[in-house]
Amino acid sequence: MMWGGIALLALYTGGNVYLFVRLWQSIAPLPVWLRVVIAVLFWFAAAAMFLSFEIRNSGLPESFIRSIFWVGTTWLVFLLYMVLATATMDLVRLFIPTLHNGFWYALLATTIVLIYGNINYRHPRVEHVTIDSEKLPAGDSYRIVLASDIHLGYGTTRSDLSRYVDMINREQGDVVLIAGDLIDNSVRPVATEDMCREFERIEATDGIYLAPGNHEYISNIDSIAQYLRTTPVRLVRDSVVRLGNNITLIARDDRSNRHRRSLKELSSEAGEQPLIVVLDHQPYDIAASDSLGLDLHLSGHTHRGQVWPLSWLTDALYDQSHGYRQWSHTHAVVSSGLSLWGPPFRIGTRSDLYVIDIRGNSAE
């Protein structure tokens, strides 16, 4: 973990240095004072992400912290695509020496891609999955609305959540399940605006359940648990919950808790007859659910990398990085996230809300 962090920091630093050198060369005709101003703004943007993390729980104005957060996280994606585009222009110039202004062509291309990515992010997709089960009587049905990775805080605001609640209500679910990372890096902005009051508008007979994610631990899981007690969202950690229509929910604690209970232990408490739904933020244990013969496994966490080419990385890291798949027994859904962490862009991926209809096909 430590060496991975060092490698990422080295890549981030190297990318910034490379881009700054190309920028400095491209603005050479400008007055010195203007070049210095541009340089200061460049390195402020490069450092903003780290600054936003340090001040996230400070007493500074919310608008200031939110602005720093937006600059820092936007810079991450800008840097990625700007380095790729600039490097491509440099490569092309090896074969076409007369090509000039490659840096500015790269900047134009990157700007267009980011505008597209932001528009794409603002329009989540609703995905429908239908599962037939002999554990429900013929003619009966049960609808699960699955949201994941909303990341409320300085990036995803209360107005964003209001739109998501409207989306969820349109699907008329029997229960709403949140597969972790409801809150981003700090509970402070969420509690200050009392964002989770929006969930009072949810219309679901069996309520709203949240299995914690790694960001609940980053944000201080105890503080989040205390805040959520004042809201309709029920935080469930390593527990079994009986829902309607002979359905049992196993809500797992996140892997951040190294002492969380095993899936085998939790499934033994659920019994053999009910249809069992596993809610587990990180999709590492889908194969375990399948080996135990559990019916439905729901996860999030991956964002499917959020932007290309990181989607290639998540597809390589996880047996199932996103979407729906039927294993030998278990039906598994991995959401790419209704919102996202940090930079407000979806490039090569889509935000999603899953609607899962379980239909009975057994005799009563």
* Least reliable range by pLDDT among 50-64, 104-118, 211-225: 50-64
SS3 254: coil
Tens digit of pLDDT for each residue in 272-291? 778 999 999 999 999 999 99
pLDDT confidence tier of residue 362, bands split at 50, 70 and 90: low
* Least reliable range by pLDDT among 1-15, 27-41, 85-99: 1-15
Amino acid at 69: F
* pLDDT higher than threshold 80 for residue 3: no
pLDDT confidence tier of residue 84, bands split at 50, 70 and 90: very high
What share of the chain has pLDDT > 90, as a percent?
82
**Residue closest to 268 by CA, chosen among 248, 283, 253, 285:** 248
Give me the residues paired with residue 183 across strands: 152
Determine the pLDDT at residue 363. Answer: 52
* pLDDT higher than threshold 60 for residue 299: yes
Q: Write the burial class of residue 200 (CB in 10 Å: 0-12 exposed, 13-18 middle, 19+ buried).
A: exposed
DSSP secondary structure of 31-52: -HHHHHHHHHHHHHHHHHHHHH
* pLDDT higher than threshold 70 for residue 269: yes
* Least reliable range by pLDDT among 17-26, 54-63, 95-104, 294-303: 54-63
Give me the residues paired with residue 360 across strands: 133
* For the chain, domain boundaries: 2-121, 126-362
Tens digit of pLDDT for each residue in 88-113? 999 998 888 888 889 999 999 999 99
CATH code: domain 126-362 is: 3.60.21.10
* pLDDT higher than threshold 70 for residue 2: no
Determine the pLDDT at residue 246. Answer: 86
Tens digit of pLDDT for each residue in 158-217? 999 999 999 999 999 999 999 999 999 889 999 999 999 999 999 999 999 999 999 999
